[in-house]
């Protein structure tokens, strides 16, 4: 993964190079004179600079190979897609459970309604039978008042 980076160390660099690029670098950093080794003005190409000591920074220990930024983005995208798929699966399961619960609720309400209707039907039948029995033994006006009292008590 991405970490703090490699460790650096300062080392001494002794210049004995004849590289024109390095000579130009020294000239731009004003570490040498534009005139060379006593020839004429501008004779810096043939001049040698032995013994010029410079400090430079180099990597002390190379880091172990790790992911590049592009690989990190790719892995993050894959991880995000996996999490999104898992979320979609959970959401689908939740929606299925909710729809099953709604169906069970409908069935339960329908069963309760049917049972209630059966009980009310039986109660009406019981009331009719009770009226018949009571009409045999009591006068008519008492049965209707009794039934009115019984139905209002509920």
d(CA 147, CA 140): 11
CA atoms within 13 A on the CB side of 67: 11
Q: What is the pLDDT of residue 149?
A: 66
Q: What is the pLDDT of residue 62?
A: 79
Determine what percent of the chain is predicted with pLDDT higher than 70. Answer: 65
Residue range 17-44, pLDDT digits in tens: 667 777 787 778 766 655 555 444 444 4
At 139, the pLDDT band (50, 70, 90 cuts) reads low
Distance of CA 136 to the CA centre of its chain: 80
Whether 52 contacts 15, CB under 8 Å: yes
At 126, the pLDDT band (50, 70, 90 cuts) reads confident
d(CA 57, CA 5): 15
d(CA 120, CA 113): 10
Residue range 42-87, pLDDT digits in tens: 444 444 445 566 777 778 887 778 888 899 999 999 999 999 999 9
- Tell me which of 64 and 154 has the higher pLDDT: 64
Domain ranges of the chain: 1-34+49-66
**Two tokens, residue 95:** 């929606």
d(CA 110, CA 116): 10
């Amino acid at each position: 993964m991405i970490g703090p980076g490699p460790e650096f160390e300062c080392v001494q660099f002794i210049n004995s190079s004849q590289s024109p690029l390095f000579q130009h670098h020294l000239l731009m950093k004003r570490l040498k004179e534009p005139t060379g080794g006593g020839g004429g003005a501008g004779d810096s190409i043939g001049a040698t600079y032995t013994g010029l000591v410079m400090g430079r920074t180099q990597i002390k220990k190379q880091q172990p190979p790790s992911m590049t930024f592009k690989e990190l983005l790719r892995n993050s995208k894959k991880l995000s897609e996996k999490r999104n798929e898992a979320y979609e699966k959970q959401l689908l399961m939740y929606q299925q459970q909710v729809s099953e619960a709604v169906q069970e609720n409908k069935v339960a309400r329908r069963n309760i309604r049917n049972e209630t209707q059966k009980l009310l039907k039986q109660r009406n039948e019981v009331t009719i039978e009770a009226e018949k029995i009571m009409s045999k033994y009591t006068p008519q006006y008492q049965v209707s008042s009794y039934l009115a009292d019984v139905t209002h008590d509920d």
